[in-house]
Every structure is written in structure tokens, then in C-alpha cells.
Amino acid sequence: MITFRLSSSVYAYVGYLLLMVYFLWPGRFASLYEYIEGENIYDQLIRKTTKNISLMRNGLRCDYSEVIEENLSLYRPPYTEDIINNNVRLGGEYYPEDCLPSFSTAIIVPYRQRERQLNQFLIYMHNYLRRQRIHYRIFVIEQYDPKPFNRAKLFNIGAMIAIGFDYPCLVLHDVDLMPMNLGHLYACSRKPRHMCSSLDEFRYNLPYRGLFGGAVAIESSVYLNVNGMSNMFSGWGGEDDDLYGRLQNKQIEICRFSPTYSQYSMLKHRKETPNKDRVAFLRNGKQRYHTDGLNSLVYKQVGFKLHNLFTHVLVET
């Protein structure tokens, strides 16, 4: 029998190679979930706009093929530093004037005491979204009271306000997430879409298939159909899984785009206090889907202002 003895230097070299693979190929597990390839993205999008955009007759339809095909990596200076050629309308609304957009989207951002992150978000997102040539408006829903942060309730409030402005598509968006790839159009797809499935915080991997938070695109009609999100999840955790459960309860499937289109970067921030009741709420959530959500939404609006880069809604929950 022939035996081989490997020196410690060989083991060290192999270990080094494995570490290099780990750090330089973070998306190696991305294929473990189904996703829509780049060439099929446009066909999956729902072309629907607000009535005021639909009534416009000035020119040809905007072309999105180049934006999707090139899929530029945009998360870098100068786009992260300052608004470039600022032509954003009052209230954080924009639509291209040289063509007719095919999509109208309300970006809803729950917020409290993260001024630096909000400033970074608004600068980059306006640079990013205007290059996509869609019609959009950014709504910042700020919780004014000192109670534990209720992210899901703020999403519900923002959704109802955006629907009141006739937006057919909602993007539920955390203020600390930045899309890196321009080809991921901020428009709704035929199925509700988990947009940030390739997140740097998770080494560009999807922790579990039921993850459905961070940045989500969902039709207004679907959000109404599932009664929005639960209003009971104060503090951190559980509300996104509850929303996923609501979709499953209605036999509504979700989708994701290819990881090359779904890369996001998370800004550093202090973690919120976990909700100690989140597991219990999730366990009995199905019993409350029809009674806890948009139809039980109670809040007090204490401010509404159109800023240069966003529509600001100040609320007590």
C-alpha cells in the first residue's frame, strides 16, 4: 500500500484557497432559489401608470431595453454624493418629459431618527430612479411618537396614502438599502417580488426562501387583497414573515430577479430592539389575517409636507 503524507504547508495552502473562494465568490449559493433571468424581466413587469400619466399624449413610449440589458453598476460616486441635474418635482416625484413612462411606482419608506441614512438614500435613489425613466414618488412615513418602532404599520399608512394618489405599484423599502444594479426596474411584476435577494449583509446569499423584506414590489391591488401587513409587530422582526404568510394564505406566489440584478448594499445602522412576542404573533397570525391590517389601521396624522425630494407624512401610531 502506498501512503501519502501531506505537509502542514499543503494543508495551509488548501485552507487559504477555500477562504479565497469564500470571500471572492459570495454568490455561490444563489442558484438555490428560482429567479427570473435578465432577458425575461421586461415581460414580467406590469405596465400600468397613474391616470395623470396615462392621459399624457406627448411623444413615444419610453424604451427600457437598454437599461435592463446593460444593467449598469451605479452604486458609486458621483451618484452617491449629490443630486445630479436635479429635476425632481416637489414632493419627490419624477417622470421623464421626453417619453411616456410605462410604470408608476410609489416608494414607501418607514422612518424615525435616521437623518444621515435618509439623506444618503434620497440622493442616491433619485439619481438611480431617474435613469430608469419611470414615473415615481418617494413617500417617507415618519413615526413621531416614542413608542417602539412599528415598521409594518408605517408601510400600511404609506400604502393607503399612495393608493389615494392612484399609484398602482408599491415598493416597500427600508431606508438603509441601496440597489446596486440599474437594470432592476422599480416596477411591479406579475407576482409580488422580493427585490433585495442578493444583499451584501448576507454575503449576497438568500438566508431562507421565505425571506420577503427589505425591498418588496407589490401591486396595490394585491396589497389590498391580503389586508396589508400586521399592525401588531412593534420593535424588530416578524412582520415580513407575516406578510409572506398572508400571500401564501391567498395562494399568491412571489418571485425574484436574477442575483446579478438584485444586488443591494446595506448601510450601517444600530439594530432595533427585537419584538419579544414576534414568534407568538407569527404562530397565530393566520387567525388575524382578515382582522389585523389595513382594515384595522388606526393612527393620527400630525403632519403632511411636500419637500423637494420626498413627500413627508408625520404620524402617531
Question: Which of 206-220, 263-277, 300-314 is predicted with the least confidence, judged by mean pLDDT?
Answer: 263-277
H helices within 132-277, ranges in order?
Answer: 151-164, 220-225, 239-249
The rounded mean pLDDT for the chain is: 90
Is residue 154 very low, low, confident or very high in pLDDT (cuts 50, 70, 90)? Answer: very high
Which pLDDT score, from 0 to 100, does residue 21 have?
45
Q: 196 pairs with which residues across the strands? A: none
Which pLDDT score, from 0 to 100, does residue 16 have?
58
Which pLDDT score, from 0 to 100, does residue 29 have?
47
Q: 314 pairs with which residues across the strands? A: 142, 303
Which pLDDT score, from 0 to 100, does residue 160 have?
98
Phi, psi at 166, each rounded to 5°: 75, 20
Which pLDDT score, from 0 to 100, does residue 67 have?
98
Q: Which helix (H) or strand (E) holds 179?
A: strand 177-179
Q: Measure the CA–CA gap between 112 and 120, rounded to whole angstroms.
A: 15
Q: Tell me which residue of 45, 85, 90, 91 sits closest to 65, measured CA to CA.
A: 45
Is residue 6 very low, low, confident or very high in pLDDT (cuts 50, 70, 90)? Answer: low
Instruction: Identify the CATH class of 29-222+252-270+301-314.
Output: alpha beta
Confidence check: pLDDT of 27 > 60: no
The three-class DSSP label of residue 21 is helix
Q: Where are the domains of the chain?
A: 29-222+252-270+301-314
User: What is the amino acid identity at position 301?
Assistant: Q
Q: Bigger pLDDT: 20 or 105?
A: 105
Which pLDDT score, from 0 to 100, does residue 32 have?
78
Is residue 22 very low, low, confident or very high in pLDDT (cuts 50, 70, 90)? Answer: very low
Which is it for the CA torsion 238, 239, 240, 242, positive or negative?
Answer: positive
* Spatial contact of 62 and 99, defined as CB atoms under 8 Å apart: yes
Phi, psi at 108, each rounded to 5°: -110, 125
Q: Measure the CA–CA gap between 37 and 134, rounded to whole angstroms.
A: 21
